[in-house]
Amino acid sequence: MDSIIVRGNGALNGQIPIAGAKNACLTLMPATLLSEEPLTLTNAPRLSDIKTMTQLLSSLGAEVSDLQDGKVQAMSSHNIDNHIADYDIVRKMRASNLVLGPMLARLGHAVVSLPGGCAIGTRPMDLHIHGLEALGAEIELKEGYLHAKVPAGRLQGAEITLSFASVGATENILMAATLAKGTTIINNAAREPEIADLATCLRAMGAQIEGDGTSRIEVQGVDRLHGATHPVVTDRIELGTYMLAPAICGGEVELLGGRIDLVGAFCEKLDAAGVSIEETQHGLKVSRKGDRIRAVDVVTEPFPGFPTDLQAQMMALMCTAEGTSVLEEKIFENRFMHTPELMRMGANIEVQGGTATVTGVERLKGAPVMATDLRASVSLILAGLAAEGETIVNRVYHLDRGYERVEEKLGNVGAHIERVDGV
């Protein structure tokens, strides 16, 4: 397993290009199952999770080709000859469950392994199941697999109210509803930008959708969808992650392709902490306003609130801020696994249930640390950028799931960072 070595090396300066959004691409790719005609995604990120989704769609019979160095996913699901999403693939990546809705809409049946828990929580699928059952699916759990079918032959539109604004459940129900007979309304829908991006792609395929980006989405089902070409939206979590690099190290970095509307609540917190964010012709330019970052409190919420996927990275900034910061994680039940590793670097953090209290110290000290999940691993890289001495982040396969060429992007703005092949 590879490791990444980071040495605190002072201010960062230059430009970092932001890729297409992993979490948009992972719901856009299953949308190919909704049509016999080809769907092409441009600006796709080059990540191991995208390769896993490619593997899953191919196992179902879709043809997926990575063009232009993986930045274009050209897909055709003319012949879907398998309706079983196997545990071996699904267990590697929860987003595999996003083939369920499209397969029910297109084929009328599907067998999808439950993803099982992951490092950050149990991650059940009850909201997905209730929504799809409301559309006329019959879903039964047998030996770890969801066996789903549509007795009426075609899904029927319905009004669905989600008890929690689940991103994945909204995506699964939305995709299924595009081919259902009649009208579907999703109340308390997730409002993440990836939902709007999916709806834009589905409309390009001929779907009739209104209200995406709000908490009430209305879908008029159609008989079939045609092919399309769609650009994947910018990755707001990669954007927020790299905005923190100059905030932690000093200097000035321009995030190419960055859009302030994707990171509103996050930018408000950075501004309060003493970070300057300037919109430029090419993206967002970020630097510190003064000498030291101020502590701010954070509560993670569904969009447009502070994103849970930036909580670990924000904590890395708070570790050396002036004052005490309280970070409350309200989306996942176990998303503080970066804290023991940050404490190995000298951070002063106290965790009580879903709340972490961080008292800033002058400077962290480099140490060997362990990546445990995708966002925790990048928070350790960020902490190492300004720490005294050397930080070795192990098990960086977690990192490669969601960040393209992290050592190249940070190295290009002056970070001392290198990947060491695992033994």
Point out the residues that are catalytic.
Answer: 118
Q: Does 329 bind ligand EPZ (CB under 6 A)?
A: no
Min dist. Cβ of residue 264 to ligand EPZ (A): 15
Q: Select from 55-63, 117-125, 138-146, 179-187 the region that touches ligand EPZ (CB under 6 A).
A: 117-125
Min dist. Cβ of residue 335 to ligand EPZ (A): 8
Asked if the bond preceding 102 is cis, omega within 30° of 0, the reply is: no
Rounded Cα–Cα distance for residues 372 and 57 (Å) = 27
Min dist. Cβ of residue 122 to ligand EPZ (A): 6
Binding-site member from 160, 284, 345, 374 for ligand EPZ (CB under 6 A): 374
Q: Which is nearer to ligand EPZ, 126 or 140 (CB)?
A: 126
Tokens linked to 298: 């954070």
Q: Does 85 bind ligand EPZ (CB under 6 A)?
A: no
Q: Which is nearer to ligand EPZ, 124 or 290 (CB)?
A: 124
Q: Which is nearer to ligand EPZ, 84 or 118 (CB)?
A: 118
Rounded Cα–Cα distance for residues 249 and 410 (Å) = 12
Q: Does 95 bind ligand EPZ (CB under 6 A)?
A: yes
- The vertex-367 CA angle with 270 and 327, nearest 5°, equals 30
Return the SS3 of 156.
strand
Within 189-248, the residues that bind ligand EPZ by CB under 6 A are none
Q: Select from 74-82, 161-169, 310-318, 355-363 the region that touches ligand EPZ (CB under 6 A).
A: 161-169
Q: Does 403 bind ligand EPZ (CB under 6 A)?
A: no
Within 121-150, the residues that bind ligand EPZ by CB under 6 A are 121, 123-128
Total residues binding ligand EPZ (CB under 6 A): 23
Binding letters toward ligand EPZ, positions 18-37, x by CB under 6 A: -----x--x-----------
Min dist. Cβ of residue 108 to ligand EPZ (A): 22
Min dist. Cβ of residue 303 to ligand EPZ (A): 7
Min dist. Cβ of residue 376 to ligand EPZ (A): 9
Residue nearest to ligand EPZ (CB): 168
What residues contact 385, with CB distance under 8 A and at least 6 apart? 6, 8, 9, 12, 245, 248, 249, 410, 415, 417
Binding residues vs ligand EPZ (CB under 6 A): 23, 26, 94-95, 121, 123-128, 164, 166-169, 308-309, 331-332, 374-375, 402
